[in-house]
Amino acid sequence: MSLAMQQKIEIAADKPYPVYLGSSLEGLGEYLRHQFDDIEHILIVSHQVVADLYAQRLMKGLQDYRINLLIVPAGEEEKSLDRLSRLTAEALGHGTDRKSLVIALGGGVIGDLAGFFASIFMRGIRLIQVPTTLLAQVDSSIGGKVAVNHSAGKNILGAFYPPQAVWTDFSTLESLPWEEVENGLAESIKHALIADGDLFQFFENEQKPIKHRDCLIWSEMVTRSSLVKIRIVSQDEREQGIRALLNLGHSFGHAIETEMDYRGITHGQGVSVGIVAAAHLAFAKGLMTSAEVDRVIALLNSYGLLTKIKGLDSQNLLHKMQADKKNQGGRKILILPQGIGQALVTKECSDSEILAAWKQVLF
Ligand SMILES: NC(=O)c1ccc[n+]([C@@H]2O[C@H](COP(=O)([O-])OP(=O)(O)OC[C@H]3O[C@@H](n4cnc5c(N)ncnc54)[C@H](O)[C@@H]3O)[C@@H](O)[C@H]2O)c1
């Protein structure tokens, strides 16, 4: 996937930063030398599997720097205070100081964990996001949110901490297992549904090359999907308004994930069922036609994403939604699609309407 030309897109934030799409891992060093004249030491934080595949390519360009590679075991449970504390000890052992740079080389777990570490180590050291999963490239590396989990909930301890840059090399996606691709596809289709009807059509028309990982089509898919996120976070960095649209499908999806204790369902599958539930609710509210709901279901199905789920109870799921941290004053805040390519935030859904939507996706 090295055919793509590099594109630089600036995120308009309090502290603007560039996203480089279609860049090469080997090229990051030259960028750093050009951009910063006071960096001597770099900490690369990664998973073993990702480091085995890509650290050498990245380090080829970083020969001028003193490098330490910190390996974090894979898994969501590693986004923890305990891991943060171990990273801190390791970083200090390697002489990390205020001028050091952190490179987060991996998926969303590494991006969130290493990003949060960078945000608080010595009150903040520089960070470059190098996303290597589809989800991280189109979603989690963009927008500056970093966090770890707590027993009280996911991403409870976190910050808005914009990186110096996001450095995206599409070729890293070649090794991504299909289950991980699905997680990213669910978010990418969500981006299309909330903000880009043409991208939705692209997903409908290009199913075959997408499933065969055609490099040009994947470059276009990642670029167009990233652009949706870039556009949204550039308008609303701190999630005071439009950024909430990115949560489409997530209130329903999180309820499913927590009800199932995060076992036997991936995040992407949960979000996918959640998108369908939101589409049914949108139909009931007159925001979508039944033909549009059918298009959403057909598209998700065609990529092997779940559109219904077995053996769960609608009342329990409704109850789980009450704990959603986005709720206000006891009212559920939901994101609903408005046709294909637009969405809105609403407080105006009654429990009986939400229950009816749940029933459409349960069997
Ligand atoms: N900060 C945000 O705005 C934001 C947004 C969405 C999700 N997230 C977070 O992202 C996390 C999920 O991220 P994810 O889906 O990328 O999962 P992940 O980071 O756990 O990566 C999934 C698996 O793929 C492996 N992997 C990564 N890149 C690979 C590659 N190129 N080839 C082969 N294997 C590779 C990883 O080692 C891991 O085992 C969650 O913690 C979620 O909360 C954050």
Closest CA to 103 of 153, 160, 61: 61
Least confident range from 32-46, 203-217, 327-341: namely 327-341
Q: How far apart are CA 193 and CA 117, in angstroms?
A: 33
Here the tokens at position 165 are 């840059």
Here the tokens at position 124 are 């903040």
Residue 134, domain CATH: 3.40.50.1970
Please report the DSSP string for 286-305 in residue order.
TSS-HHHHHHHHHHHHHTT-
Q: Are residues 26 and 166 in the same domain?
A: yes
Domain boundary among 175, 193, 220: 175
2: in domain: no
Whether ligand 1 lies within 6 angstroms of the CB of 159 is answered as: no
How many helices and strands, by DSSP H and E, does the chain display?
Answer: 14, 11
Region 44-62: mean pLDDT is: 98
For ligand 1, atom 11, name the residue with the nearest CA. 108
Domain tally, the chain = 2
Mean pLDDT score of the chain? 96
- Residue 31 belongs to domain spanning: 7-175
| CB 118 within 8 Å of CB 205 | no
To test the ligand 1 pocket, which listed residue (79, 105, 130, 140) has its Cβ within 8 A of the most ligand atoms?
A: 140
pLDDT number for residue 3: 47
Give the catalytic positions in this structure. 123, 145, 187, 229, 239, 243, 247, 250, 254, 267
Q: How far apart are CA 56 and CA 340, in angstroms?
A: 43
Residue 254, domain CATH: 1.20.1090.10
To test the ligand 1 pocket, which listed residue (47, 76, 266) has its Cβ within 8 A of the most ligand atoms?
A: 47
Q: Are residues 150 and 195 in the same domain?
A: no
**91-140, pLDDT tens digit by residue?**
999 999 999 999 999 999 999 999 999 999 999 999 999 999 999 999 99
pLDDT number for residue 331: 86
Region 224-233: mean pLDDT is: 98
**Locus of tokens 């509210």:** 285
Ligand 1 atom index nearest CA of 112? 1
Domain boundary among 175, 199, 223: 175
Ligand 1 atom index nearest CA of 49? 37
Whether ligand 1 lies within 6 angstroms of the CB of 133 is answered as: yes
Domain boundary among 146, 175, 204: 175
Is 154 labeled as ligand-binding?
yes
Distance 184 CA to ligand 1 centre (A): 9
Q: Are residues 135 and 57 in the same domain?
A: yes
Is 79 labeled as ligand-binding?
no
Vertex 212: Cα angle to 209 and 214 (nearest 5): 60
Closest CA to 129 of 170, 82, 162, 177: 162
Whether ligand 1 lies within 6 angstroms of the CB of 220 is answered as: no
Q: How far apart are CA 148 and CA 146, in angstroms?
A: 7
Q: pLDDT-based confidence at 2, cuts 50/70/90?
A: very low
Q: Are residues 186 and 148 in the same domain?
A: no
Report the Cα 125 to chain-centroid distance in Å.
Answer: 22
**What count of Cα atoms within 13 Å lies in the side-chain half-sphere of residue 218?**
25
1: in domain: no
Of the two residues 328 and 363, the one the predictor is more confident about is 363
